[in-house]
Amino acid sequence: MESPDMQTLLSFFKIMANGSRLKLVGVLAQRECSVEELATLLSLKEPTISHHLAKLRELGLVQMRPDRNTHLYCLDTDALNTLNKAMLTSTSIASLTDVEPEAWEKKVLRTYLEDNCLKKIPASHKKRWIILKWLVGQFEPDVTYPEKAVNEIIQQFHPDSATLRRELIDYQMMQRENGVYWRLPEIAWKTV
């Protein structure tokens, strides 16, 4: 099942946000029942049970099978598991938003950069991390730099190259050995 859209999620939560339907699902998870049995077990009228069953069938959570002159209903546990796996993941929930993931990073960069120069080093660790991520992007991957070249590149953006150089090392965005620096892959960076 593909990742659900906003309407599917809304329908699921609206349908499942009813106490009687939740009880009905609980009963059907244990055994098959007719509308008459469900009405008796849940102390509801048969038309009300039929209404709830129709809603659950919309989601594909309930199956019906004829048995002589009645219909028996049961919970479709495979459909429930499939729906659960498709809906209740951080990726599927996150895909529902139209928020731009980098909006906050862009705001931090706009706040601290002016004419592509760093106005000041942020005190907040999260904001500093964003600035350092931008700064390390000024260095090519798989290229080694002597300390003098690192300082020259950093000083194009801010005069305090010593602090920023140390920060790049501390956040594991760059590594240093014998006065030679190189950019590390993003997977190695220390997060905040």
Same fold flag, 6-94 and 103-188 = yes
- List of residues 6+ apart from 108 with CB closer than 8 A: 122, 127, 130, 131
Can you tell me which residue has the tokens 């390390």?
Answer: 136
The one-letter amino acid code at 174 reads: M
> Which pTM does this prediction carry?
0.55
pLDDT tens for 145-177 read 999 999 999 999 999 999 999 999 999 999 999
pLDDT tens for 90-130 read 666 666 666 677 888 999 999 999 999 999 999 999 999 99
Contact 39, 45 (CB under 8 A): yes
* Domain spans, the chain: 6-94, 103-188
Q: What is the pLDDT of residue 102?
A: 84
Q: How far apart are CA 78 and CA 83, in angstroms?
A: 8
Q: How far apart are CA 129 and CA 104, in angstroms?
A: 12
Q: Which fold has domain 103-188?
A: Arc Repressor Mutant, subunit A (1.10.10)
* Cα dihedral sign, 122-160-140-144: negative
Largest CA distance in the chain: 88
* CATH number assigned to the domain covering 6-94: 1.10.10.10
